[in-house]
């Protein structure tokens, strides 16, 4: 155990927060984190580490300044990772004000508590490739690409990005934006497209589901593995000076390609001619189709192409993705074929994977 540093994490119950907490505990950190009160348990992704002697959890919320202020005052962390967010792009069109409240104002609440307390933790902001995408001909997108968000989520994260830069410049905080492109895992929330596809592919292969309804099959995303990406977050806070970094795989693929590979990994060869999708992307139910297009999943505005250039992270952080697109699809499908009964949330009951690592 080489370090006794203290980290404070928001969003620990999410996909990234759970992997990051594992990483920091492995590195010897004391990990402090807020959990939102809920009428049901939301800690499934961290249940396997919840009793760790160096993990401390508190009730908290990015909507509550006084709570953040008093926790930071008590904990005096060396590093803060602000991962908490209403993170679903489509949902942000339905709850735009709440999304801004948490994703934009939550960030200033945290940064301002740091400033007011006069503490000097290193600060990581979970920025996103959704800041890009509205301008044509900009791919592959890098730290120099102009922003043009296309959703209330993207717009809220734009504020969070700039206020992080501003507090770095105005008050000398060591604050970094990680501009992360899409990253996935068996722990991915089930309403994001990759997990929705891998879970359905597994269930259809097992005869437990008839078909899968999707939205825009032609959207292109730069997908990586979340476990690789949380390492980049940590690396950003270990440098001599704070900077912003794009973290991406450097490849882009369509939703259709992801689905083709996922179904293939589950033993099903999709025939797109008969999959209930015609040229105009409208569902024509054939009764045979395993993939249908349902316009209810189209967004009021769409980011059609995300394709990141991680050259700066490779050169300055020594970071590069270790998991290929094919490997990512395979590991997600393998998990869903094996563990669907456990709720598909990435949670494996203790003992179920005794011989292997957590997903």
Q: Of 137, 138, 194, 215, whose CA–CA distance to 335 is shortest? A: 194
Cross-strand partners of 34: 58
Which of 99, 128, 164, 198 is catalytic? The answer is 128
CB of 242 to ligand GDR, least distance (A): 21
Binder to ligand GDR among 10, 82, 99, 182 (CB under 6 A)?
182
Residue closest to ligand GDR (Cβ): 219
Q: Which span (46-54, 62-70, 104-112, 210-218) binds ligand GDR, by CB under 6 A? A: 210-218
Active site residue 130: yes
Residue 220 within binding range of ligand NDP, rule CB under 6 A: no
Q: How far apart are alpha carbons 220 and 58 in whole angstroms?
A: 38
Separation between Cα atoms, residue 124 and residue 312, nearest integer Å: 17
Nearer to ligand NDP, 109 or 290 (CB): 109
Q: Which of 30, 130, 184, 275 is catalytic?
A: 130
Residues 6 or more apart from 325 whose CB is under 8 A from it? Answer: 223, 249, 251, 253, 261
Question: In sequence order, what are the residues at sequence separation of 6 or more whose Cβ sits closer than 8 angstroms to the Cβ of residue 53?
Answer: none
Contacts 24+ apart (CB under 8 A), 89-96: 89/130, 89/151, 89/153, 89/154, 89/299, 89/303, 90/297, 90/299, 91/153, 91/191, 92/151, 92/152, 92/153, 92/156, 93/151, 93/152, 93/299, 93/300, 96/152
CA angle (15 as vertex; 1, 113 as ends), nearest 5? 75
Contact with ligand GDR (CB under 6 A) among 3, 73, 76, 191: 191
Q: Determine whether 153 is an active site residue.
A: yes
> What is the C-alpha to C-alpha distance for residues 103 and 311, in angstroms, rounded to an integer?
27
153, 102 contact by CB (below 8 A): no
The entry of ligand NDP, ligand GDR, none near residue 297 (CB within 5 to 8 angstroms by kind) is ligand GDR
CB of 148 or CB of 192, closer to ligand GDR: 192
User: Per the structure block, which two tokens stand in for 299?
Assistant: 């967004």
Residue 141 within binding range of ligand NDP, rule CB under 6 A: no
- Answer yes or no whether residue 214 interacts with ligand GDR by CB under 6 A: yes
Residue 123 assigned to a binding site: yes
Which residue has the CB atom at the shortest distance from ligand NDP? Answer: 14
Among 75-83, 117-125, 186-194, 225-233, the segment contacting ligand GDR (CB under 6 A): 186-194
Name the residues that contact ligand NDP, by CB under 6 A.
10-17, 34, 36, 38, 42, 61-63, 83-87, 102, 126, 128, 180, 182-183, 189
Name the residues that contact ligand GDR, by CB under 6 A.
87, 89-90, 128-130, 181-182, 191-193, 196, 214-216, 219, 221, 255, 297, 299, 302
- Per the annotation, binding residues are 123
The residues carrying an active-site annotation are 128, 130, 153
- Per the annotation, binding residues for NADP(+) are 123
């Amino acid at each position: 155990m080489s370090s006794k540093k203290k980290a404070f994490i928001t969003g620990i119950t999410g996909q990234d927060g759970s992997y990051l907490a594992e990483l920091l505990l492995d590195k010897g950190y004391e990990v402090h984190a807020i959990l939102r009160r809920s009428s049901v348990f939301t800690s499934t992704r961290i249940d396997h580490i919840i009793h760790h002697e160096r993990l401390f959890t508190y009730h908290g919320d990015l909507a509550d300044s006084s709570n953040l202020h008093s926790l930071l005052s008590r904990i005096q962390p060396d590093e803060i990772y602000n991962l908490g967010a209403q993170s679903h792009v489509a949902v942000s069109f339905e709850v735009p004000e709440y999304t801004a409240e948490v994703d934009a104002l939550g960030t200033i609440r945290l940064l301002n508590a740091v400033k007011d307390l006069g503490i000097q933790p290193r600060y990581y902001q979970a920025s996103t490739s959704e800041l890009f995408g509205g301008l044509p001909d900009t791919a592959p997108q890098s730290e120099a690409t102009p922003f043009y968000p296309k959703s209330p989520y993207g717009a809220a994260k734009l504020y969070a990005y700039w206020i992080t830069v501003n507090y770095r410049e105005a008050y000398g905080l060591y604050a970094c934006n990680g501009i992360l492109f899409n990253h996935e895992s068996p722990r991915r929330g089930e309403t994001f497209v990759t997990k929705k596809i891998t879970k359905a592919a597994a269930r259809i292969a097992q005869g437990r589901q008839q078909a899968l309804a999707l939205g825009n099959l032609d959207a292109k995303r730069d997908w990586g593995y979340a476990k690789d990406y949380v390492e980049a977050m940590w690396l950003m806070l270990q440098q001599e000076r704070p900077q912003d970094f794009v973290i991406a795989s450097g490849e882009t693929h369509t939703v259709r390609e992801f689905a083709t590979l996922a179904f293939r990994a589950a033993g099903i060869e999709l025939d797109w001619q008969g999959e209930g999708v015609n040229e105009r992307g409208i569902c024509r139910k054939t009764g045979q189709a395993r993939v249908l297009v349902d316009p209810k999943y189209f967004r009021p505005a769409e980011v059609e192409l995300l394709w990141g250039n991680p050259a700066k992270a490779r050169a300055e952080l020594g970071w590069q993705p270790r998991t290929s697109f094919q490997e990512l699809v395979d590991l997600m499908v393998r998990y869903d074929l094996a563990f669907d009964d456990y709720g598909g949330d990435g949670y494996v009951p203790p003992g179920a994977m005794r011989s292997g690592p957590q997903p």
